[in-house]
Amino acid sequence: MKKHILSVDDEQEIRELLQETLTMRGYRVSTAAEPIEARRIAKNDRPDLIILDFQIEESDGFVLIDEFRKLYPDIPLMLLTGAVFGKGAVREVIETKVNSYLDKTASLSQILDEIHRLIGDPEPGASANTAFRSLR
Amino acid sequence: MKENIEKRVVGLFFLMLAILTYVAWFAVDTIKKSRNKSDWVRHTYEVIGQAKEVSISLGAGDAEMRAYLLTGDARNQLGYRTKYAAMVNALDVGSRETQRDISERDQYQKFLTLTNLIGKHIAFTRSLVQARQQGGLDAARQLELANPEGESTAEINAVMNDLERRANDLLQQNDSEARTEAILTRQIVYSGVIANFVLLVFAAYLIKDDIKARRIAATALEEANAHLEAKVQERTAELVKSNQALKKENLERRWSYQALDHQFRYNQLIVNAVTEMVFVISKALNISRTNPSVTHLSQWEPQELISQSIERVLQLPSVGPTHPLLAALNEGRELQDQPGTMITKSGAKVSVRFNLVPLRDADKVVGGVVTVRIVPGTPAVNA
């Protein structure tokens, strides 16, 4: 069974790019632009990883992070945002709330590496592992 | 190569067919000749038989005739007449048998000679019988003594023997020829069979060689195909890898563009949200960017200020030989809460306070950001 990633971002282009990239790497990806949709997906199809933006319509990333933390304490959360945080404050504040924090200016390779670090291969097994590594 | 072998095999089969045809024709011809010779032999034996019949009938007829000369018995007379009739009949048959074929001309001549001699013999016998009937036994004896009969009989027997010997010679010669022909036929048949066997073996060898060559070619083709297949797979894998790399690169590029665009828009939002007037200036003090507050507070549209000197909208109280803003940028210094006068589009003058922060690219100052705020409670003074 492929690992399931939920991506929550208000920008369509970003959602599509992430979905295309992660699907190509072998993950199963769901996307949501709004918190309501994200909650529905997470409830119906438990994700292995949730990637969130800070700026979300009708809410913000921190609210969603708190919600998901309560609902699924064991699901890793990644904050992928273009909002500029003070570098020094990031580790102290944000990383206490999420498992990983990346600027959107990070390359896709860096994002993939981080995803792999958090949840491993798209599918358990040597072949998937090899396929993943060959694409990185 | 393949076509060449097929031509050779077909050629060999035609050659074998020709040899078989020749052998068959020769065998049939020999059989026909044998049948002819067999007919000839039977005919020759028939002729010899007729000649012997002539000889036997002559001897028996002569014996009956002498008995009749001695006894005058009518039965003896009937006997010699019957024998002579049989002899004449055999002589006729022999003559007819040898008359048809030109190769028997010699025998036919001998039969004619015999006919002539026997005719004379019968005529003499007839005169003896006549003498016996007219003058008795003595008259017959006198006639016989005067014409000795033994000479003609000996001559007839000599011709008969010659005829028989000649026929036997011919039979022997024929037998010899038949044996020679039989040997030749056997040799030809054996030669044909051996030649065909050799050709068949050669054709088999060619076919086997061809099959072997075809197998080698098939194996080589198979190997070439496998090699080609491997190459194609290798190339396909390379193309897939290359395609994936291109896709990855494309995705990275799109991601970078989106990230930068997002960052730019985000920064723009922040700058636009500032209520103070913001001017981005070059080191020549020309304006390259403003925020919406500039238009809101000074009525200058961005296009009216871009590339214009900041002095058009911001004037400093005392400008020495070097403009304070330029001096600060050259020295990389910030200016904080400095007094100045804003000139609005309508020409009104408003007291303001401004800050200058140099813009650095690495360690080099490339321009500066001037933020201007209106001093609260300051009325605009029209020029």
Taking only the tens place, the pLDDT of each residue in B163-186 is 888 888 888 988 898 899 889 988
Across the interface, of B241, B255, B260, the residue whose CB is closest to A17 is: B255
Across the interface, of B241, B251, B266, the residue whose CB is closest to A20 is: B251
Question: What is the predicted pLDDT for the residue at B271?
Answer: 84
> What's B321's domain CATH number?
3.30.450.20
Domain presence at residue B229: no
- In this structure, are B73 and B187 located in the same domain? yes
CA angle B30, B196, B192 (to 5 degrees): 20
- In this structure, are B84 and B198 located in the same domain? yes
- In this structure, are B20 and B145 located in the same domain? yes
**Among the listed residues B82, B76, B74, B69, the one whose alpha carbon sits nearest the alpha carbon of residue B145:** B69
Does the pLDDT at position A130 exceed 80? no
Domain limits for position B303: 274-382
Residue range A33-90, pLDDT digits in tens: 988 999 999 999 999 999 998 877 777 778 888 889 988 999 999 988 876 666 666 6
- In this structure, are B43 and B171 located in the same domain? yes
User: Sorting pLDDT into bands at 50, 70 and 90, what band is A129?
Assistant: very low
- In this structure, are B44 and B170 located in the same domain? yes
CB pairs A-B closer than 8 Å: 46
ipTM: 0.83
Chain B nearest-CA distance from A17, in A, is 7
- In this structure, are B196 and B283 located in the same domain? no
Domain presence at residue B236: no
Domain presence at residue B253: no
- In this structure, are B303 and B180 located in the same domain? no
Question: What is the predicted pLDDT for the residue at B264?
Answer: 85
CA atoms within 13 A of residue B52's CA, in its CB half-sphere: 10
Across the interface, of A21, A83, A84, the residue whose CB is closest to B251 is: A21
Domain presence at residue B289: yes
Chain A nearest-CA distance from B261, in A, is 10
- In this structure, are B52 and B170 located in the same domain? yes
Residue of B241, B244, B246, B255 for testing the chain A interface, max A β-carbons within 10 Å:
B255
Domain presence at residue B137: yes
Local mean pLDDT, 10-residue blocks, chain B (383 residues): 77 90 90 87 86 89 89 90 91 86 84 88 87 87 77 82 86 89 89 91 89 92 95 95 91 90 84 91 92 94 93 86 89 94 93 94 90 83 59
Supply the pTM of this predicted model: 0.54
In angstroms, rounded to a whole number, what is the distance separating the alpha carbons of residues B9 and B338? 113
Question: What is the predicted pLDDT for the residue at B151?
Answer: 65
Domain presence at residue B244: no
Across the interface, of B248, B258, B267, the residue whose CB is closest to A135 is: B248
- In this structure, are B198 and B294 located in the same domain? no
| Residue in chain B lying closest to A20 (CA) | B251
Chain B residues touching A109 at Cβ < 8 A: 252
- In this structure, are B75 and B179 located in the same domain? yes
Question: What is the predicted pLDDT for the residue at A127?
Answer: 47
Contacts of A49 (CB under 8 A, 6+ apart): A3, A4, A5, A6, A75, A76, A77, A78, A115, A118, A119
- In this structure, are B70 and B191 located in the same domain? yes
Final residue before a domain boundary, out of B162, B177, B209 = B209
Chain B residues touching A104 at Cβ < 8 A: 258-259, 262-263
Final residue before a domain boundary, out of B171, B187, B209 = B209
Question: What is the predicted pLDDT for the residue at B110?
Answer: 86
Domain presence at residue B123: yes
Domain presence at residue B234: no
CA angle B51, B56, B60 (to 5 degrees): 150
What total number of domains does chain B contain?
A: 2
Does the pLDDT at position A135 exceed 50? no
- In this structure, are B201 and B280 located in the same domain? no
Does the pLDDT at position A132 exceed 50? no
Final residue before a domain boundary, out of B193, B209, B225 = B209
Considering Cα of B260, then B265, then B266, then B267, what sign does the dihedral take?
A: positive
User: Sorting pLDDT into bands at 50, 70 and 90, what band is A118?
Assistant: very high
Chain B residues touching A134 at Cβ < 8 A: 241
In angstroms, rounded to a whole number, what is the distance separating the alpha carbons of residues A69 and A90? 18
Does the pLDDT at position A109 exceed 60? yes
Question: What is the predicted pLDDT for the residue at B337?
Answer: 94
Chain B residues touching A17 at Cβ < 8 A: 251, 254-255, 258
Residue of A56, A108, A110, A134 for testing the chain B interface, max B β-carbons within 10 Å:
A108
What average pLDDT does chain B have? 88
Percent of chain A residues topping a pLDDT of 70? 82
